[in-house]
Every structure is written in C-alpha cells, then in structure tokens.
Structure 1
Amino acid sequence: MLYIGIDLGTSAVKLLLMNSGGEIVRIVSKEYGLSFPHPGWSEQNPEDWYTQSMEGVKELLEGQDKSQVAGISFGGQMHGLVMLNEKDQVIRPAILWNDGRTTKETDYLNEVIGRKKLEQYTANIAFAGFTAPKILWVKEHEPENFARCRKIMLPKDYLAYRLTGVFSTDYSDASGMLLLDVAHKCWSADMCRICGISEEMLPRLYESYEKTGCVKREVAQELGIPESTVVAAGAGDNAASAVGTGTVGEGRCNISLGTSGTLFISADHFVSMNGQNAVHDFAHADGSFHLMGCMLSAASCNKWWTEQILHTKDYPAEQAEITDDRLGGNHVFYLPYLMGERSPLNDPLARSTFIGMTMDTTRADMTQAMLEGVAFGLRDSLEIARSLGISVTKSTIVGGGSKSPLWRKIVANVCNLTLEIPESVEGPSMGGAMLAAVACGEYPDVRTACEKIVRISRTEEPDPELVRKYEEKYQQFRQIYPALKELFPKLQ
C-alpha cells in the first residue's frame, strides 16, 4: 500500500509518498506566497494551500498505481488562525504562526488574566504567535469578521476539512492554540469564555494517528484515488517531524533547524512546568506529551544574511572560511530575533543585532556569529528543560540548516549534545505518512512505526575543549538581550 504525508509549511507544501515498508517513493514540493501587510504581520491565503496540495498530490502519483493509496495525513505549520463563515467560506487571510501583531492581546492574557490561570487552564502561557491572542485581535480590530465566524481551525485542518468534510484537529496542534487543556486533553471552557467563542466553533479532537474520515467522492475522483482512502488527523509540524525522526518515548530529543528553530523533548507523561513556562507543554503525536522551545528565526537567519545581505545563494562558500580552529573564539555575537522571539523570551519586540565588531572583523566572522547565535538561542530553551530536571545527552537533528556540517558541529558543541542525523531528514512529511500508515493498521502504533522505519546514518559528537570554549561564549551571549531589552520597544 501507499501512504501520503503532506507537510503544509510556511513557504511551500511538501508531499511525500511512502510504501508499506517505510521507503520513500517520491517527494514533491509546491510553493505559495506570503503576505506582509504591515511590519511584523504575516498572512496567507488558505485557498493556496488547497490548490497547491491538490496539484502536488497529482504530481506525486504520476506513474503510480493510484488504487494502492490507502491513507493521507499531515504535518502542518502551527498556530495559524483560519476562520470560516456559515457557508464554510474563508473570512479573511490566515494569520500565521510568525505574525507579531498581538502584543497587546498577549500582554492582556499574561498580565490581566494571569500566567498562573493560563497555566491552570492550558498548561501554557500566552505567546504572540498562539491562536487565542489572534482571536482576541480579530475581535477587537475586525469585529465584523469576528461576528461572521462559525468555525475556527488550524492550517493543516483546513486542508483536511477540504479533503474530507470533517471538522477535526489533533491534540498536538491544538496544544498551540492556547485553547486546549493539555493535561486533560479537552477544550478549555475558561479560554473559550475569555476569547468570546463557543466550543461548537472548535473542531473535534483526535489523536494524531486516528482516522477522522475518508476523502470525499469528488476529491477521490479528481485525484484518481479510492474513496476508501483514510485521512488521519495528523500533527503540528514539530510533532510530525518528531515522529519522522523517531523522537517518541521518555526523554528523546529532536532539534529542527528549519525556518524556525525548535528543541523538542518527548515524555511519557504530562510534565508540570511549575511556572517555568518559557517553553511549551504540549501533547505529542504518539499519544503522550512533549516539551518544546521554539525560536522564530533559525535557518531563516541564514537565508536572510546570505541572500539579502551578502547577495549570494552559495551557502557552502560563505561557510568555507570558518575552519575548526575558529570555533569558540569569535568576538562577534548575533541575536537571532528577526521576527521577535518566542521561547524562552516571549518578546515580539525583540530584534536581531550584531555586536562586538572591530576593524579586523571579517565577513566570515559575521557569518559564524549568525550560525552561533541560532545555536545559542536553541540552548536557551535546553537550559529551561534542564532546570526542570530533564536530562538530555543526545538529539536527532533535521531541517534545512542541519545539512550544513559546520552548523551541526556548532550546535553539538554549544549544547553539549551528541547529534544523530537520520537517514531520512524529511521531517513532517515523513511523520505524516507514518501517521497515515498507523491509522490504516499498517503498524499497531506510532512507536512501532518509528522502530521499524527510522534509521540513523551518522552522528556528530561534541568535543570537550570546544564545549568549554562555547560555554564561556554562551554566558556572554545570554547577557546581551537583557542589556538591550528596554531599547527594542523604542525602535518600533
């Protein structure tokens, strides 16, 4: 049988076809646009997701026996607000995960409602990227759109709704809305009241590996696949990526160097944050839970620096001068806050900056500082997990940035972790296909699927002397943001 995993990303949808043995048959990617109506805003047209996904599936299945397609599932960009009216029409462009307009609403939730109550209701505090602050923003600034809203959903769930007609979501993705009582896996009546919405406006909750429905007849006919094709709930992109890398079970870790950067630690049981809400406490796609730190700009820092500032796309050439003897000795530092920052700062007004340049600073020094700054940002979240008594000594690493041997070495030594590079680094799309296979009974559960499919190709070990050097640099790095924090709002 064949299984389709759909990774609904920020700039493109990536589709993966997997066979019963867990082998990748084909991968297809389709791009779509982003809109930035105002500084710090980020929006997308949900219709583009559907159109490009359908075209992608058609290309994915060219030359294949379409009758063998058994299941479809998803990994998707999290937190985005999709609003439908009573006719199931999109009311306004989706407000995305990296949109920073909700400073006022986030402050209201954290300071007026209060962090302790939010943790009691949802196990998390408010971050500007979460869905609940976006709902409050629409309620305040677009009351006519708020009044028309009948359904609230997340990006991948809009795609699933178009495929099946079933109004659904999964626990991992719903965890990032600030509307889910994560510990009890149900919608929070208190958060619905605070946001002025009813529970009927929210989708039915499923485990990521559960069947929500089958493709609609017209969809099956257009794609040439069976009407019996199962659609599983899927997961938020990071949880799906964790499945794709085998990050399930107690204390497993995955680092993703994608557009955003994440540190993902799986846990068998719910972990109370006890006020340490700088990282997220979410449900996992395998039916358990996880902690996650998310920085808004990771590989996107590299893209910005290399393409927009240096005006080149030759990434390896820009990193070639950064030899091993230079690591741990850079006098330049970089704050990776191009879109503000989420974990652990929770500051949408934070901004990127280089500091420490002198007359002998080189282009390579600044490139190195950018790569190190992202690694330091990941370590900030790792330190929160360690403060909770969680011991992490190794991690898988995925995402576009993980293809750089230099960046992997920097991350391994900054975080003092052994990094494992999976044979397949497809992340959310692979995880989505695996969840579809579980939903169809190909594997009895997610953990078994991971054991059968995921393989490690090589490792990156930290060097004790380099770890020592980077420890000193990290302690310097962590002093920069507090020194500049009060300045950032004045720059807006």
Structure 2
Amino acid sequence: MYYIGVDLGTSAVKLLLMTGDGKIEKIVSEEYSLYFPHPGWSEQKPEDWLDAVLKGIKELTEGIDKTQVAGIGAGGQMHGLVVLDKDDQVIRPAILWNDGRTQEETDYLNDTIGKDKLRSYTGNIAFAGFTAPKILWMKKNEPENFAKIAKIMLPKDYINYKLSGVNSTDYSDASGMLLLDVKNKCWSKEMLDICGITEDMMPKLYESYDITGTLLPEMAKELGLPESVKIVAGAGDNAAAAIGTGTVGNGRCNISLGTSGTLFISSDSFNVPPDGIHSFAHADGAYHLMGCMLSAASCNKWFMDQIIRTSDYPKEQEGITDDKLGRNHVYYLPYLMGERAPHNDPFCRSCFIGMTMDTSREDMTQAVLEGVAFGIRDSLEEIKRLGVDVKKSMACGGGMKSPLWRMIFANVLNITLTIPETEQGPGYGGAILAAVACGEYSSVQDACDKLIRVTGEVKPDPDLAALYEKRYQTFRKLYPALKGIFPEL
C-alpha cells in the first residue's frame, strides 16, 4: 500500500509517497505566497494551501495504481489562526506562527491573567506566536470578523477538513494554541472563556495516529483516489519531524535546524516547563519538551543571500578551518524575528558583536553558525533545570546537512549527534502516522523501530567542547545586557 505524507510549511508544501516498508517513491513540492501587510505581520491564504496540496497529490500519484493509496497524514506549521464562517468560507487570511502583532495580548495573558493561572489551565505560558493571543487580537481589532467565527482550526487541519469534511485536530498541534489543557488532553474551558469563544467552534481532538475520516466523494473524484482513503489526524510539524527521526520514548532528543530551530525531547509524562520552554503532547501519544528559536538556518540564508550575496553556501564555509573553531572573537545574536525560546521577546534583534579591523568574512560566517548553536544551547540549559540529561540527539533539517555546522553543534552542546538515513522532516512523519493508522504497524514505536535507521554520528571533542563552553558563557551575557535597548530600535 501507499501512504501520502504532507509537510505544510511556511513557504511551500512538500508531499511524499511512501510504501508500507518505509521506502520513499516520490517527492513533490508546491510553493505559495507569504504576505506581510504590516511590519511584523505574517499571513497566508488557506485557499492557497489547499490548491497546492491538491495539485501536489495529483502529481505525486501520477503513474501509480491509485487504488493502493491507503492513507494521508500531515505535519503542518503550528499556531496559525484559521477562521471559517457559518458557510465554511475563510473569514480572513491565516495569521501565522511567526507573526509578531500580538505582544499586547501576550502581555495581558502573562501579566494580567498571570503565568501561574495559564500553566494551571494549559500547562504553558503565552507566546506571541500562539493561537490564543491571535484570537484576542482579532476580537479587539477586527470585531466584525470575530463575530463571524463558526470554526477555528490550525493550518494542516484546514487541509484535512477540506479533504474529509471533519473538523479535527491532534493533541500535539493543539498544544501550541494555548487553548488546550495539555496534561489532561482536553480544551480548557477557562481559556475559551478568556478568548470569548466556545467549544463548538473548536475541532474534535484526536491522537496523531487516529483516523478522523475518509476522502469526501468530490475530493476523491478530483484526485482520482478511492473514497476509502483514510485521513489521519497528523501532527504539528515538530512532532511529525520527531516521528520521522524516531524520536519517541522517554528522553529521546531531536534537533531540527530549518527556517526555525527546535530542540525536542520526548517524555513519558507531562512536565511543567520553565518560562521559555513548551510542554506539549507528542504524536506518539505521550508528551515532549521543546525549545523553539524563530530564526535558525534562516540566519545563515539571510547572511549568505542578503549580506554577502552568494548562493554557494559550502564555499563560504571552506575557510572556516578546524583551528578556528572555538576561537572566534565575533559573536552573533540570532534574533532576526525576535525570539521565542527561551527569551519570549519579540523585540530582540540580531547583531554582530566583537568585530575588529582584522575581522574577516569567514569570521562573520562562523559567528552566524555558532550563534544559532548557542541559541539552541540556551533552550537546553533551561530544560536541564527539570533534571533532563541529554547525551545524544538526532539531527535533521537543511542546516544539519553542513558537516561544519554539525561539528559546531556537537561541541557547543557537548552531545553526540546522530544522522538519520532518511531525513524528510514532517512529511515522512505524517506518512508513518498514516501507516500506523491503517494497521501497517502496531504502534508509532513499532513503526519507528522498523523504519528509522542511523547512517552516522558526530561526537564532541573534549578540548573543543571546553573552548565552546567558555565562549557560550560569554554569549549568554549578551542578551540580558542588550534587552533594554532592543525596544528602542
């Protein structure tokens, strides 16, 4: 049988076709537009996502026996606010995860409602990217649109709804809304009341590997697929990517270095997190801790594309030789879009510090790579406060394809990085969840044990790790020193 995995990203949707034994037969990608109507705002049209997914599925399944397609599972960008009216029409463009307009609402939730109450209601505090602050923003700034709301959903769930007609979400994605009581896996009545919404507006909750419906007849006809194709609840992108790297079971770790960067640690039980860390449900039915930085590999892309204007990323790293590692005098703060974990500060900004007359192009490139690793280390330090001891982590995402960046990460974090054989992010995790839902495997753990293989590892060097430890202790002083200045910028 075939299983389709959908990775609904911020710039494009990536779809893959997987066989029951985990082999990827084909991958297609379809791009869509991203809109910035005001500084700090970030929006997309849900209709564009749907058009891209339908086009991609048609291309993906061209030339195969379509009767063998058994299920579709999606991993998607989290936190985005999608609102539909009583006629199932999109009311306004989706407000995305990286949108920064809700600082006033976030402050209201954290300071007026209070962090302790938020933790008791949801297990987490408010972040500007979460869905609940977006709802409050819409209530205050677009009351006419707010009054039309009949359904509230997340980006991937809009796709599933259009495919199946079932308004559903999974616990991992719902965890990032600040509307879910994560520990008890139910909608928080208190948070719904605070936001002025009702439970009948919310999607029905499922585990990520649950079947939520099948293809609507009109969708089956358009796609040329059987109506029996099962739609699976799926997962938030980070949880789906963790499934795709086998990060299931207590204490397993995955570091994803994409547009954003995440440190993801699976847990058998729910943990109340420190202020800058998330504690969410996992796609395997358990829980996870996560630190998410908003700009990770995108920092290097920005520096390469916009500043030194080159597309040859590997060439720019050639001059960063082993003798330079741990000895750079330049520091870079990776806050191009503000920061989530662990600072929860939309006002902080990127900067270079420590440049002198002999600072080179390579020094600045190295500082960018190191700054992102230091940023992930910040989250790791917060999670260590819970008694979690990480010795090894899977490494995925486009940035981790760089051997140099992997070496920097291994030594900055002083842990061993393992490299998965198949690294296709949330799409692969979505396909695995579909295979589990359709009975191909007995559980998510069973599927990961059989499908996920490691091709190599990068171990820290004790001497280099010691050099980076000293540099990290300097790095961690920079944000507090500059915090008061950032809002003035």
Question: Is the counterpart of residue 458 in structure 1 residue 452 in structure 2?
Answer: no
The correspondence for 1:418, drawn from 407, 416, 419, is 416
Counterparts of 1:54 and 1:318, CA distance in 2: 38
Identical counterparts, % of pairs: 69
Counterparts of 2:32 and 2:303, CA distance in 1: 22
The correspondence for 1:378, drawn from 376, 379, 385, is 376
Counterparts of 1:3 and 1:398, CA distance in 2: 22
**Where do 5+ consecutive residues of structure 1 fail to align?**
none
Counterparts of 1:344 and 1:425, CA distance in 2: 27
Question: Which residue in the other structure is 1:467 paired with?
Answer: 465
TM superposition outliers: structure 1 runs of 4+ over 2 Å? none
* 1:272 to partner: Cα distance: 2.6
Question: Which residue in the other structure is 1:479 paired with?
Answer: 477
Counterparts of 1:2 and 1:416, CA distance in 2: 40
Question: Is the counterpart of residue 334 in structure 1 residue 357 in structure 2?
Answer: no
Counterparts of 1:483 and 1:435, CA distance in 2: 45
Question: Which residue in the other structure is 1:57 paired with?
Answer: 57
Structure 1 residues 275-317: Cα deviation after superposition (integer angstroms, max 9, x where no partner)? x121000000000000000000001111111001111111001
Structure 1 residues 429-460: Cα deviation after superposition (integer angstroms, max 9, x where no partner)? 00000000011011011000000100001101
Counterparts of 2:432 and 2:188, CA distance in 1: 30
Question: Which residue in the other structure is 2:270 paired with?
Answer: 270
* 1:271 to partner: Cα distance: 1.6
Residue 113 of structure 1 aligns to a residue in which SS?
helix
The correspondence for 1:430, drawn from 428, 431, 438, is 428
Question: Which residue in the other structure is 1:141 paired with?
Answer: 141
* 1:214 to partner: Cα distance: 0.2
Question: Which residue in the other structure is 1:441 paired with?
Answer: 439
* 1:387 to partner: Cα distance: 1.1
Counterparts of 1:320 and 1:162, CA distance in 2: 47
One-letter code aligned to 1:335: L
Counterparts of 2:392 and 2:40, CA distance in 1: 35
**Where do 5+ consecutive residues of structure 2 fail to align?**
none
Question: Which residue in the other structure is 2:294 paired with?
Answer: 296
Question: Which residue in the other structure is 1:365 paired with?
Answer: 363
Question: Which residue in the other structure is 1:223 paired with?
Answer: 223
Alignment of 1:278-289 (within 5 A): 278-289=276-287
**Which has the larger displacement, 258-267 or 316-325?**
316-325
Question: Which residue in the other structure is 2:76 paired with?
Answer: 76
Maintained 8 Å contact 2:119/2:272: no
Structure 1 residues 330-367: Cα deviation after superposition (integer angstroms, max 9, x where no partner)? 00000100110000000001110111100000011000
Count of aligned positions:
489
TM-score in terms of structure 1 length: 0.99
Question: Which residue in the other structure is 1:46 paired with?
Answer: 46
Residue 262 of structure 2 aligns to a residue in which SS?
strand
One-letter code aligned to 2:444: V
Tell me how large the CA RMSD over aligned residues is.
0.6
Residue 329 of structure 1 aligns to a residue in which SS?
coil
Question: Is the counterpart of residue 23 in structure 1 residue 32 in structure 2?
Answer: no
Counterparts of 1:101 and 1:294, CA distance in 2: 18
One-letter code aligned to 1:260: S
Question: Is the counterpart of residue 12 in structure 1 residue 7 in structure 2?
Answer: no
Counterparts of 1:489 and 1:177, CA distance in 2: 26
Counterparts of 1:223 and 1:402, CA distance in 2: 35
Counterparts of 1:407 and 1:399, CA distance in 2: 12
Structure 1 residues 138-178: Cα deviation after superposition (integer angstroms, max 9, x where no partner)? 01111111011111100000000010000000000000000
Counterparts of 1:103 and 1:22, CA distance in 2: 43
Residue 39 of structure 1 aligns to a residue in which SS?
coil
* 1:27 to partner: Cα distance: 0.8
Counterparts of 2:389 and 2:487, CA distance in 1: 36
Counterparts of 2:382 and 2:160, CA distance in 1: 35
Structure 1 residues 95-148: Cα deviation after superposition (integer angstroms, max 9, x where no partner)? 000001111000000000000000000000000000000000001111111011
Alignment of 1:390-401 (within 5 A): 390-401=388-399
Counterparts of 1:466 and 1:122, CA distance in 2: 41
Structure 1 residues 391-421: Cα deviation after superposition (integer angstroms, max 9, x where no partner)? 1100001011011111111011000110000
Question: Which residue in the other structure is 1:240 paired with?
Answer: 240
* 1:385 to partner: Cα distance: 1.1
Question: Which residue in the other structure is 1:98 paired with?
Answer: 98
TM-score in terms of structure 2 length: 0.99
Residue 479 of structure 1 aligns to a residue in which SS?
helix
Counterparts of 1:324 and 1:148, CA distance in 2: 59
**Which has the larger displacement, 239-248 or 263-272?**
263-272
* 1:223 to partner: Cα distance: 1.1
One-letter code aligned to 1:465: D
Counterparts of 1:97 and 1:363, CA distance in 2: 32
Counterparts of 2:194 and 2:446, CA distance in 1: 40
* 1:63 to partner: Cα distance: 1.2
* 1:222 to partner: Cα distance: 1.2
Counterparts of 2:450 and 2:379, CA distance in 1: 30
Question: Which residue in the other structure is 2:249 paired with?
Answer: 249
Counterparts of 2:341 and 2:197, CA distance in 1: 27
Residue 312 of structure 1 aligns to a residue in which SS?
coil
* 1:236 to partner: Cα distance: 0.1
Residue 332 of structure 2 aligns to a residue in which SS?
strand
One-letter code aligned to 1:33: S
Residue 79 of structure 1 aligns to a residue in which SS?
coil
Residue 249 of structure 2 aligns to a residue in which SS?
coil
One-letter code aligned to 1:179: L
Residue 291 of structure 2 aligns to a residue in which SS?
strand
